[in-house]
Amino acid sequence: MKKIKAFLIFFGIADSTYLLLELSNTCPLNGCSSDLMFNDINLPALLGLIWFTSYAFMKDKLLILWQIAAIVGIVFLSLYSFVEAHYCLYCFLAYLAGILLIVLDKTKNAN
């Protein structure tokens, strides 16, 4: 379980970093919106990088708040992408990695 969690965190960091560096000009898949850019910085990718990097260090109530923030962000960004018709596989893979991390932690705590 720890190896899966470590892999998901590593994947989320790698994916978010790639999006942050690559999207300074354009989306590699032409699926992302430039509406969420600020000074050529992709804000969702930056927030994803911060979220995945910090996740391993979160404990107890702070971890729960961190997970809630992720779910709210994922729901907002997913809805936004569907409404604006911007579909980026890299973004959706980062969302999936975040959701799987949360599910792993919740199932671990339930046992």
DSSP string of 19-30, one letter each residue? HHHHTTT--TTS
Q: What are the per-10-residue average pLDDT scores of the chain (111 residues)?
A: 92 91 62 70 88 92 94 91 81 93 84 60
The pLDDT of residue 32 = 64
Its pTM stands at 0.84
Residues of the domain holding 89: 2-110
**3-class DSSP state for residue 90?**
helix
The pLDDT of residue 44 = 86
As a whole number of angstroms, the distance between CA 86 and CA 23 comes to 14
As a whole number of angstroms, the distance between CA 22 and CA 74 comes to 21
Tokens 């999207």 found at: 23
The pLDDT of residue 14 = 95
The pLDDT of residue 42 = 81
The pLDDT of residue 30 = 60
H helices, E strands: number in the chain: 4, 2
Query: Which residues have a Cβ under 8 Å from the Cβ of 46 and sit 6 or more positions away?
Result: 16, 20
Alpha-carbon 44 to chain mean position: 8
